[in-house]
Amino acid sequence: MAYFDAASAAPLHPVARQALLASVDEGWADPARLYREGRRARMLLDAAREAVAEAVGCRADEVAFTSSGTRAVHSGVSGVLAGRRRVGRHLIVSSVEHSSVLHSAEAHEADGGTVTQVPVDRAGAVDPSAYAAALREDTALACLQSANHEVGTVQPVAEVAGACRAAGVPLLVDAAQSLGWGPVAGDWSLLTASAHKWGGPAGVGLLVVRKGVRFAPQGPADERESGRAPGFENIPAIVAAAASLRAVRAEAAAEAVRLRELTERIRVRVPDLVPDVEVVGEPERRLPGIVTFSCLYVDGEALLHELDREGFSVSSGSSCTSSTLTPSHVLRAMGVLSEGNVRVSLPPGTPAEDVDRFLEVLPGAVAGVREKLGAPTATVLRHEDALVVDALGKLCPLPVIELAKVIGEVPVGGTVRVLADDEAARLDIPAWCEMRGQEYVGEEPAEKGTAYVVRRVL
Contact 1, 313 (CB under 8 A): yes
Stretch 250-266: mean pLDDT, rounded?
Answer: 97
Angle at 237 between CA 235 and CA 240, to 5 degrees: 110
DSSP annotation of 202 reads: S
Contact 5, 314 (CB under 8 A): yes
DSSP annotation of 185 reads: P
Q: CA-CA distance, 272 to 281, in Å (whole number)?
A: 18
DSSP annotation of 227 reads: G
Sign of the alpha-carbon dihedral angle for 73, 158, 80, 212: positive
User: Is residue 435 predicted with pLDDT exceeding 80?
Assistant: yes
Start-end of H helices in 151-234:
157-167
Residue percentage of the chain with pLDDT more than 90: 82
Q: What is the mean pLDDT of the chain?
A: 93
Q: How many residues does the chain have?
A: 458
- The residue ranges of DSSP E strands in 325-385, in sequence order, are 341-345, 379-383
194 phi and psi, to 5 degrees? -140, 130
> pTM for the full model?
0.90
Burial class (CB in 10 A: 0-12, 13-18, 19+), 34: exposed
With H, G, I as helix, E, B as strand and everything else as coil, classify residue 72. Answer: helix
Confidence at 223, pLDDT banded by 50, 70, 90: confident
DSSP annotation of 324 reads: B
Summarised one tens digit per residue, pLDDT across range 194-215 is 999 999 999 999 999 999 999 9
User: Is residue 376 predicted with pLDDT exceeding 50?
Assistant: no
More confident residue, 4 or 379: 4
Q: Which residues contact 222 (CB under 8 A, 6 or more apart)?
A: 229, 230, 231
User: Is residue 261 predicted with pLDDT exceeding 70?
Assistant: yes
User: Is residue 90 predicted with pLDDT exceeding 50?
Assistant: yes
Q: CB-side exposure of 420: number of CA atoms within 13 Å?
A: 25
Q: Which residues contact 120 (CB under 8 A, 6 or more apart)?
A: 94, 95, 96, 126, 333, 334
Q: CA-CA distance, 74 to 68, in Å (whole number)?
A: 10
Stretch 321-334: mean pLDDT, rounded?
Answer: 75
With H, G, I as helix, E, B as strand and everything else as coil, classify residue 388. Answer: strand
Summarised one tens digit per residue, pLDDT across range 298-316 is 988 899 999 999 999 999 8
More confident residue, 220 or 153: 153
User: Is residue 72 predicted with pLDDT exceeding 60?
Assistant: yes
Which amino acid, one-letter code, is at 302? Answer: A
Confidence at 378, pLDDT banded by 50, 70, 90: very low
- The residue ranges of DSSP E strands in 70-157, in sequence order, are 90-94, 114-118, 139-145
Contact 329, 423 (CB under 8 A): no
Residues serving a catalytic function are: 320
Stretch 94-118: mean pLDDT, rounded?
Answer: 97
Stretch 385-401: mean pLDDT, rounded?
Answer: 87
Q: Which of 370, 345, 376, 140 is CA-nearest to residue 259?
A: 345
Phi-psi region of 76 (alpha: psi -120 to 50; beta: other; left: phi over 0): alpha
Element counts in the chain: helices (H) and strands (E)? 12, 17
User: Is residue 321 predicted with pLDDT exceeding 70?
Assistant: no
Summarised one tens digit per residue, pLDDT across range 19-57 is 999 999 989 999 999 999 999 999 999 999 999 999 999
Q: Which of 363, 326, 361, 369 is CA-nearest to residue 4?
A: 361
Contact 141, 80 (CB under 8 A): yes
Q: CA-CA distance, 189 to 234, in Å (whole number)?
A: 26
With H, G, I as helix, E, B as strand and everything else as coil, classify residue 439. Answer: strand
First and final CA of the chain: distance in angstroms? Answer: 43
Strand (E) or helix (H) holding 455? strand 450-455
With H, G, I as helix, E, B as strand and everything else as coil, classify residue 206. Answer: strand
Q: How confident is the model at residue 283, as a pLDDT?
A: 94
User: Is residue 375 predicted with pLDDT exceeding 50?
Assistant: no
User: Is residue 318 predicted with pLDDT exceeding 80?
Assistant: no
Contact 213, 83 (CB under 8 A): yes
